[in-house]
Amino acid sequence: MDQPPTIVLRWSRSARNVGRARAELRTTLSAWGLSRIEDAASLVLSELLTNAVRHARTAPDREIETRYLKIPRGLRVEVHDASEVRPLMALPAAEAGGGWGLPLVDVLSEKWGVSDREGFGKFVWAELSVEAAH
C-alpha cells in the first residue's frame, strides 16, 4: 500500500522524540524511494526539531508537529510549533559549542524558511532535492 504524499506526526517537547522523528522520516523516505537523501534529511529534521524543543516558548502541554511532504524533486520537511519567536540564522564564533543548526540546514537544503501558521506560531521548513544530493 502506498503512503500518502504527506505524513503528519505530533511530538511532546522532549529531546528523546528527535530520534523517534528521524526513524519515522527514514521509514517514509524508504517507502517513497527517497533513501538517497536520507542522511541530509535526517540531519535537517534533527536540527529543526531540536530548535523547536529547546527554544519554542509555549505552554508545556503544547505539542510540536512534523510534516514530511513528498514534492516533485524530493522532500519538504516542516516543523510546526506554537511559539511566535522566529529562529535567526547567524554564524556562531569558531569556539562556540553550538549554534550551527540553521547554517547546517542552509547548506544541506535547496531552500528553507520560516512561515506563519494559521492561528498561533510558525513553522520552519526545508526542501531537499534528490538532484542536489551528494
Q: Which of 63, 59, 61, 29 is nearest to 44 (CA)?
A: 29
Counting residues of the chain whose pLDDT is more than 70, the rounded percentage is 87
Which residue ranges form the domains of the chain, and what is each CATH number? Answer: 6-129 (3.30.565.10)
* Model pLDDT, residue 61: 77
pLDDT tens per residue across span 4-41: 689 999 998 888 999 999 999 999 999 999 999 999 99
Q: Give residue 2's pLDDT band: very low, low, confident or very high (50, 70, 90).
A: low
Contact between 112 and 74 under an 8 Å Cβ cutoff? The reply is no
For the residues 66-93, what does the mean pLDDT come to? Answer: 87
pTM to 2 decimal places? 0.87
Q: Which of 86, 19, 77, 78 is nearest to 55 (CA)?
A: 86
E-state strands within the chain: 6-11, 64-71, 74-81, 111-116, 122-129
* Model pLDDT, residue 14: 87
